[in-house]
């Protein structure tokens, strides 16, 4: 029981010095790598940079206790930062104390929602976000974040959380581009792109081992931050108009509860729910993928609790909403992390930086952070998935396109709500008109196939109707119409066999429709039979009166029905 809700008890008793050595190396690497990201994501959310550091300390400790992934690294991520900024912008002025309080409330609400969803095993709700919708949302969010960072790269001002707000400000401010800031931003951008594309190969070409070359290539953002910070400090560029991070408070995050303002909590309920679902989907997808590589497994419902407690920890330590981050998790995995203890070590490393080294970050140019964000976030733009969805399913593409368009034009909340609504609507539409087929026997076999697609044997007085969908309230009437149309078009039919091999569910509405079909066919002197009914479906049917009133029989297989009902059985 305790191990179920405290997964740390499953691996801590078996913790060894070998595992600690691997976790120590990974934790140190992650703590160094994610500091620029943490600062940058806080800026995206409109929060003081130190909030990103705060959100990378206690949440990691909480996830170590309650998370099930051995390699997932929790902290601020770009998507949640964008959603946080969009949710808080109408509430308070960015960077103000009221804004910070609202961010803490948002993290707390998200944490409570995630934890309760985990306790009540509601992780399946995330399944309502189809992959095309998630891909479209991430693509649009990546474009939005990159657009928002263009102002920092150019040294101009532009604000907003959709392109209709951002682009006019960017275009009108272009004449005010700050040349030195542009040089720093463009230089950092070029350096990071080159390191990402050719850094690993170039370093291996000069004789470095593959592991070292890979690590140095991934450390490109750290080198960019160090170099541009030193250049800015040496040439005193901040006095010449280059925006820098500035003073970052030293010390550990303060422990305090967010204020309880009922109207504020009510206003943030929907954003917190959307943020929770998106964060969970991103995190659990990454966790499952990496766990599979090591033949491990994670528990999605326990992950909800792990992420929920991490967000609660962020809320009580002046942080911002967090989840499992793509880039930091990949770094953690590649660095050899073996257990969640690597997260604790990373948290300790970030805490040490926050306590002692924040003055060294004073001259860090905001343009360098913008370059880091831009290069990282554009990996979310999935052009391949867009093309593939267009070719494979136009209906799924319409949901993806609507998500992208509304995210760009209206903002992240409108985009994801539209995507989810369209996905559910398209699913209901498709399943409300289930595919069905009249089937016949493949000669000389016990197999049955669609009569319009294959050369099969059939009997004019027997209609073998296969229904390729579970039956529920949305398609119950359609089933009735299908059967009645069949009988009307084939007056010679004496037996109708509903083949239920693809039916996993028959709800009360569908049961009533089958009852109605049975009675209607009786009036038409046609016998209704069922075949290949699955065990769980049969268990439910036995609790009803359908089987007692059924005019025909329930056959184990379609072949058994064929042999019984045809007029000229095989010799």
Q: What is the model's pLDDT at position 59?
A: 96
Q: What is the model's pLDDT at position 571?
A: 38
The model carries a pTM of 0.83
Report the SS3 class of residue 405. helix
Does the domain at 436-565 match CATH 3.40.50.300? Answer given as no
Element (H, E) at 300: helix 300-315
Report the SS3 class of residue 509. helix
> Nearest CA to 434 among 524, 499, 529?
499
Rounded to 10 degrees, the C-alpha dihedral 140/142/144/146 comes to -150
- Residue 527 phi, psi dihedral angles, 5° rounding: -95, 135
Tally the residues of the chain: 571
CB atoms within 10 A of CB 567: 9
> Nearest CA to 375 among 145, 35, 83, 170?
145
Report the SS3 class of residue 531. strand
Per-residue pLDDT of the chain (571 residues), as tens digits, is 567 778 888 888 889 999 999 899 888 888 888 888 899 899 989 999 999 999 999 999 999 999 999 889 999 998 899 999 999 999 999 889 999 999 999 999 999 999 999 999 887 776 777 788 888 888 888 888 889 889 999 999 887 888 888 899 899 999 999 999 999 999 999 999 998 888 888 888 888 888 788 878 878 888 898 999 999 999 999 999 999 998 999 999 999 988 888 999 999 999 999 999 888 988 887 787 777 777 778 888 899 999 999 999 999 999 999 999 877 887 888 778 899 999 999 999 999 999 988 899 999 999 999 998 888 887 778 888 899 999 998 888 888 899 999 999 988 888 888 888 888 888 888 889 999 999 999 999 999 999 999 999 999 999 999 999 999 999 999 999 999 999 999 999 999 999 999 999 999 999 999 999 999 999 999 999 999 999 999 999 999 999 999 999 999 999 999 999 986 544 3
Q: Where are the domains of the chain?
A: 17-388, 436-565
Please provide the DSSP assignment of 439-508 as one string. Answer: EEEPTTSS-EEETTTS--B--TTEEEEEE-S-B-TTTHHHHHHHHHHHHHH-TT--EEEEE-TT---B-H
Q: Report yes or no: 27 and 344 within 8 Å, Cβ to Cβ.
A: yes
Task: Give Dmax over CA atoms of the chain in angstroms.
Answer: 100
Q: What distance in Å separates the CA atoms of residue 166 and residue 144, rounded to the nearest whole number? A: 9
CB atoms within 10 A of CB 421: 15
Q: Which residues of 152-176 are buried (b: 16+ CB within 10 A; e: fewer)?
A: bbbbbebebbbbebbeeebeeeeee
- Residue 120 phi, psi dihedral angles, 5° rounding: -95, 10
Secondary structure E strands in 286-396: 323-324
> Nearest CA to 33 among 184, 193, 217?
217
Q: What distance in Å separates the CA atoms of residue 11 and residue 3, rounded to the nearest whole number? A: 10
Residue with tokens 């950092």: 188
Q: Report yes or no: 286 and 324 within 8 Å, Cβ to Cβ.
A: yes
Q: Report yes or no: 343 and 74 within 8 Å, Cβ to Cβ.
A: yes
> First and final CA of the chain: distance in angstroms?
62
Q: What distance in Å separates the CA atoms of residue 273 and residue 381, rounded to the nearest whole number? A: 24
**For the range 354-358, what are the long-range contacts, defined as Cβ-Cβ under 8 Å and sequence gap of 24 or more?**
354/50, 354/53, 354/54, 354/57, 354/250, 354/251, 354/252, 354/253, 355/250, 355/251, 355/252, 356/250, 358/50, 358/53, 358/248, 358/249, 358/250
Sequence-distant (6+) residues with CB within 8 A of 337 are: 22, 23, 26, 27, 30, 70, 71, 73, 343
Q: What distance in Å separates the CA atoms of residue 253 and residue 318, rounded to the nearest whole number? A: 6
C-alpha radius of gyration, the chain, whole number: 30
> Nearest CA to 265 among 413, 106, 411, 141?
106
C-alpha dihedral sign at 70, 74, 80, 81: negative
Secondary structure E strands in 364-468: 436-441, 448-450, 462-467
Q: What is the model's pLDDT at position 2?
A: 67
């Amino acid at each position: 029981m305790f191990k179920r809700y405290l997964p740390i008890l499953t691996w801590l008793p078996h913790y060894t010095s070998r595992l600690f050595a691997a976790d120590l190396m990974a934790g140190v690497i992650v703590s160094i790598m994610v500091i620029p990201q943490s600062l940058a994501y806080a800026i995206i959310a409109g929060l003081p940079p130190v909030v990103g550091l705060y959100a990378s300390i206690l949440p990691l400790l909480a996830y170590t206790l309650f998370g099930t992934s051995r390699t997932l690294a929790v902290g601020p991520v770009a998507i949640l930062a964008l959603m946080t900024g969009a949710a808080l912008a109408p509430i308070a002025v960015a960077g103000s104390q009221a804004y910070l309080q609202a961010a803490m409330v948002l993290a707390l609400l998200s944490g409570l929602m995630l934890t309760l969803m985990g306790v009540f095993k509601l992780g399946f709700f995330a399944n309502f976000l189809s992959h095309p919708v998630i891909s479209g949302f991430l693509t649009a969010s990546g474009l939005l974040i990159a657009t928002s960072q263009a102002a920092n790269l150019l040294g101009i001002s532009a604000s907003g959380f959709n392109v209709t707000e951002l682009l006019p400000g960017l275009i009108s401010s272009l004449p005010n581009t700050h040349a030195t800031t542009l040089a720093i931003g463009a230089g950092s951008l070029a350096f990071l792109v080159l390191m990402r594309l050719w850094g690993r190969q170039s370093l291996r070409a000069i004789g470095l081992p593959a592991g070292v070359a890979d690590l140095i290539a991934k450390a490109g953002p750290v080198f960019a931050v160090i170099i541009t910070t030193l250049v800015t400090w040496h040439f005193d560029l901040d006095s010449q108009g280059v925006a820098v991070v500035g003073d970052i408070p030293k010390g550990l995050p303060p422990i305090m509860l967010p204020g309880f303002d009922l109207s504020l909590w009510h206003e943030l309920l929907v954003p917190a729910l959307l943020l929770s679902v998106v964060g969970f989907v991103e995190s659990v997808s990454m966790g499952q993928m990496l766990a599979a590589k090591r033949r491990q497994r994670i528990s999605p419902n326990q992950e909800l609790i792990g992420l929920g407690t991490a967000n609660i920890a962020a809320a009580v330590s002046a942080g911002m909403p967090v989840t499992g981050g793509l880039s930091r998790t990949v770094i953690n995995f590649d660095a050899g992390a073996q257990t969640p203890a690597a997260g604790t070590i990373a948290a300790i490393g970030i805490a040490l930086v926050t306590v002692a080294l924040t003055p060294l970050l004073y001259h860090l140019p905001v343009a360098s952070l913008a370059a880091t964000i831009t290069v990282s976030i554009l990996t979310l733009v999935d052009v391949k998935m867009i093309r593939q969805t267009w070719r494979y399913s136009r209906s799924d593409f319409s949901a993806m396109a609507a998500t992208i368009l509304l995210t760009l034009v209206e903002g992240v909340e409108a985009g994801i709500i539209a995507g989810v609504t369209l996905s559910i609507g398209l699913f209901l539409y498709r399943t409300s008109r289930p595919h069905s087929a009249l089937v016949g026997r493949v000669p000389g076999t016990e197999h049955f196939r669609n009569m319009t697609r294959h050369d099969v044997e059939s009997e004019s007085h027997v209609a073998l109707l296969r229904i390729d969908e579970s039956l529920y309230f949305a398609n119950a009437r359609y089933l009735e119409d299908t059967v009645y149309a069949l009988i009307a078009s084939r007056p010679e039919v004496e037996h109708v066999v509903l083949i239920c091999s693809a039916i996993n569910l028959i709800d009360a509405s569908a049961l009533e429709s089958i009852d109605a079909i049975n009675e209607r066919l009786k009036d038409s002197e046609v016998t209704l039979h069922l075949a290949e009914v699955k065990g769980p479906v049969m268990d439910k049917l036995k609790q009803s009166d359908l089987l007692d009133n059924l005019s025909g029989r329930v056959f184990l297989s379609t072949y058994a029905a064929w042999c019984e009902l045809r007029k000229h059985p095989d010799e």
